[in-house]
Amino acid sequence: MAPRLVVSYGRARAIHVGLVCLSFITIFFLLRLYVTDYNPFRRSIYRTTEGKTSGPWKDEWSSVKHKSPQSTNEIEIDVPKADPDVLAYLRTLAQNHALSDEISWTARRTQPKYSPASNHQHSPPSLTETKTPLFEPHAFLRTPIATLSDANPPPTTSSHPKPLSLPMLLPHLPSSIDASPLLIAVSTTHARLTHANNTLMHDWARWLTDGRGSSNGAALVAVLHGASPAEVDAARDGLRKLGVDVDVSASPEGGGDRGDRWARLVQALVIRRVGEPSGRAWFGIVDDDVFLPRVGRLLGMLGRGEGRGYVGVPSERGDWEEDGGRVRTVGGGVVFMTAGMVDVVGQLLCLQEPNGRSRLGEKGWDARLFECVVEKTQDVDLRVLPGLYNPEDADEDMSVYGSHKVVSSQTGYGSGVQPLALHHYRNYHRLEAGKGHIVASLCGEDCFLQRFLFKDGWVLVNGYTITQYLQGARAVPLAKQKHQNSKPVAVGERLIIDKEDIPGQNEKTVAWKGHKKTWRLFDSVARENGEVWQAYINRKGGDNSVSGDISERIPGSVVHGSDEEKADVDSVIIVIWEPVR
């Protein structure tokens, strides 16, 4: 029999305790080694060694101090540098728009994904829903303006490994549109035309050229009230330098009220029509603060009028008025006539009678023209192409859809409606139309003001705003919202509303709760490589004004209310549109 090892109880207990202690010590040291080596931000070996070997790789990464969200201590981690072009653009924005000393910013690359339109689809839907988020988590970076330096760049925001793909209709680019059937007449002043670094000139050039510095075929007749010969020459040279086919003249100072000046402009248009080529099919008169963002679509709509040669294109609710229990419009500052209609108007004595001013008072030129046509003709009606408002939407306005707020057509360009004309766009809606429309040169006229709803509750109205709905947002049928609030509205006599393509019909809108944050377009630049860069800014304290007199905004136009979340610093979103190669 083998000998037995006899161990006392006390000695066995001591050995057991010792083994347990040794195990704890071993585990402790292993954990220390693991924690010391573990870095949740460390990238792959290929990232940390690229550019540090004898091979041809380029070092695109830099060690930057960054605070780990899991620790209050600063640690050295590898993060990508911010794009030098983005930094340069941010510095330009800071200088031109007086940004706060510290800003919150991010950049997002985007690319159109085109699809052909269906047989009955002439425009994109009022709401394009996407299944992807607009931003990755923690996309925004707070950076002092003073540190926006190429020599010591801040870390970039979320990497966004590939451009965001957004669905759009096949583009109708400004460069492909033949607008030679149009001749436009406008009356303004030299001071308005040259205000804020010739902003009005640049706005006109967006819809009167191909976007590349050449005329799109449309001609402009501009009459400057009270301008000197030098001012006329400067305006003509400035517009032609931008590519506009323009004839500029001056009207005498003190020549009656504004309506009288426009009445004379009608007569000038009558005279000009005689010498125009036969291809000029439509002669328009517009207010100087009108922007025509979809010239190609406008020409298509004008051409289907079945011989009706007198057309108004109202945009705002203010372009309509109540008259004896009915609503009517006289054109909204945008009227087009065929050559035959121009000849008819030229023979209407009511535009020439000396007492016309006292009889019609201080009414605008479009009202004078409408009342003159109604009085002197029997069979000429005004065909109306409605925009943001039409009588069927009379009671629609930020209404409550269940427990949600609803973005309605009367809230302006954020509704997804794409009007043929924008009226008072700068003062009423704080829209930088000329800058916002630059993106149309990349993705077509229909992508300007196209509205996208993203999975993460963000909404982009291209060229106008980006909105974050902090408690999320959802799409709801606009027809249901209209049904709850609709009331029959009688339309005035001598009006024919084009009902074939009324904006908002069978469309969707955005319903949301709680608070939101709005970034408004302040700048846009077309780059030599074909990209379009847009800068949307949310002002510290919630003031997102660009320019214009806020007091002139239409009643009910909500820019920021109690539902707007205020920020402690200016915030910038840069959207970089890449062309489809």
Beta bridge partners of 65: 76
Quote the pLDDT of residue 160.
61
Number of independent structural domains in the chain: 2
- In a domain, residue 21? The reply is yes
- What's the first-to-final CA gap in the chain, in angstroms? 90
Measured CA to CA, the distance from residue 24 to residue 2 in angstroms comes to 35
pLDDT of residue 11: 61
Q: Residue 154 falls within a domain, yes or no?
A: no
pLDDT band at 488 (very low <50, low <70, confident <90, very high): low
C-alpha angle 118/446/327, rounded to 5°? 95
Asked if residue 476 lies in contact with residue 507, where contact means CB atoms within 8 angstroms, the answer is no
Residue 218, in any domain of the structure: yes
Look at residue 52 and tell me whether its pLDDT is greater than 60: no
Same domain, 75 and 186: no
pLDDT at 548 (0 to 100): 40
pLDDT, tens digit (0-9, with 9 covering 90-100), for 433-465: 999 999 999 999 999 999 999 999 999 999 999
pLDDT tens track for 471-485: 999 998 875 555 555
pLDDT of 156 above 90: no
User: Ramachandran region of residue 176, left (φ > 0), alpha (ψ -120 to 50) or beta?
Assistant: alpha
What average pLDDT score do residues 34-61 get?
32
Average pLDDT rounded to a whole number, residues 377-388: 92
Nearest to 107 by CA among 77, 144, 81: 81
Most confident listed range (6-15, 217-226, 251-260, 493-502): 217-226
pLDDT in tens, 83-95: 889 999 999 999 9
The lowest-confidence range among 104-108, 118-122, 212-216 is 118-122
pLDDT at 124: 86
Show which of 40, 56, 80 is a domain's final residue. 80
Section 8-21 average pLDDT:
65
Question: Which tokens sit at 436?
Answer: 């916002």
Residue 344 in any domain: the answer is yes
Structure-token pair, residue 208: 């009167």
349 beta partners: none
191 within some domain: yes
Q: Residue 293 above 80 pLDDT? A: yes
Are the beta carbons of 190 and 140 closer than 8 angstroms?
no
pLDDT at 295 over 90: yes
- Overall average pLDDT of the 156-165 stretch: 71
pLDDT of residue 439: 99
At residue 155, the pLDDT reads 66
Q: How far is CA 576 from CA 128, 527, 531, in A?
A: 19, 10, 7
Spatial separation of the C-alpha atoms in residues 98 and 227, rounded to whole Å: 34
Q: Chain-wide mean pLDDT for the chain?
A: 80
Is residue 222 domain-resident? yes
Query: 573, 566, 558, 565: which is closest to 407 by C-alpha?
Result: 558
Residue type present at position 346: G
Q: Which amino acid type is present at position 86? A: V
The predicted structure's pLDDT at residue 397: 43
If asked whether residues 69 and 184 sit together in one domain, one would say no
Which has more confidence, 366 or 361? 366
| Percent of the chain scoring above 70 in pLDDT | 71
Question: Mean pLDDT lowest for which of 268-272, 323-327, 338-342, 410-414?
Answer: 410-414
Strand ranges inside 241-345, DSSP E: 245-251, 282-286, 290-291, 310-312, 320-323, 326-329, 334-338
Mean pLDDT of all residues in 528-535: 97
What Å distances lie between residue 360 and 303, 324, 355, 357, 465, CA to CA? 32, 18, 9, 5, 40
Claim to verify: residue 185 and residue 75 sit in the same structural domain: no
How far is residue 296 CA from its own chain's centroid? 19
Task: Say if residues 523 and 435 touch (Cβ distance below 8 Å).
Answer: yes
Name the pairing type of β-strands 164-169 and 219-225.
unpaired
Whether 55 has a pLDDT exceeding 80, the answer reads no
What confidence score (pLDDT) does residue 317 get?
85
Tell me what the mean pLDDT of segment 19-44 comes to: 53
pLDDT at res. 67: 40
Q: In whole angstroms, what is the distance from residue 417 CA to residue 439 CA?
A: 17
The lowest-confidence range among 148-162, 208-222, 423-437 is: 148-162
**What does the pLDDT average to over 101-108?**
95
Element (H, E) at 456: none
Q: Are 578 and 533 in contact (CB under 8 A)?
A: no
Q: Is residue 357 part of a domain?
A: yes
- pLDDT range class, residue 220, cuts 50, 70, 90: very high
| Whole-number Å distance between alpha carbons of 495 and 383 | 6
Do residue 519 and residue 411 come from a single domain?
A: yes
pLDDT at residue 8, as a whole number: 55
What DSSP line would sit under 427-439, residue for residue? HHH---HHHHGGG
pLDDT value at position 14?
A: 66
**What CATH number has the domain bearing residue 505?**
3.90.550.10
Asked whether residue 67 falls in the same domain as residue 195, the answer is no
Tell which of 39, 58, 80 closes a domain: 80
Note whether residue 169 is domain-resident. no
Helix-helix angle 339-346:258-274, to 10 degrees: 120
Burial 193-203 (b: 16+ CB within 10 A, else e): bbeeebbbbbb
Q: Which of 54, 80, 106 is the last residue of a domain?
A: 80
Rounded distance, CA 426 to CA 549, Å?
9
Q: Do residues 249 and 375 share a domain? A: yes
Give the angle subtended at the CA of 352 by the CAs of 350 and 354, to the nearest 5°. 95
Which parts of 39-127 fold into alpha helices (H)? 45-49, 84-97
Rounded Cα–Cα distance for residues 17 and 7 (Å): 15
Q: Is the pLDDT of residue 154 over 90?
A: no
Q: With bands split at pLDDT 50, 70 and 90, how would you rate the model's confidence at 322?
A: confident
| Amino acid 392: pLDDT | 65
Q: Assess whether pLDDT exceeds 70 at residue 569.
A: yes
How many angstroms separate the CA atoms of 340 and 104, rounded? 57
> CA angle, corner 62, sides to 59 and 63, nearest 5?
140
Is beta strand 465-469 parallel, antiparallel or unpaired with respect to 516-526?
antiparallel
Q: Residue 422, SS3?
A: strand
Q: Which domain holds residue 29?
A: 13-80
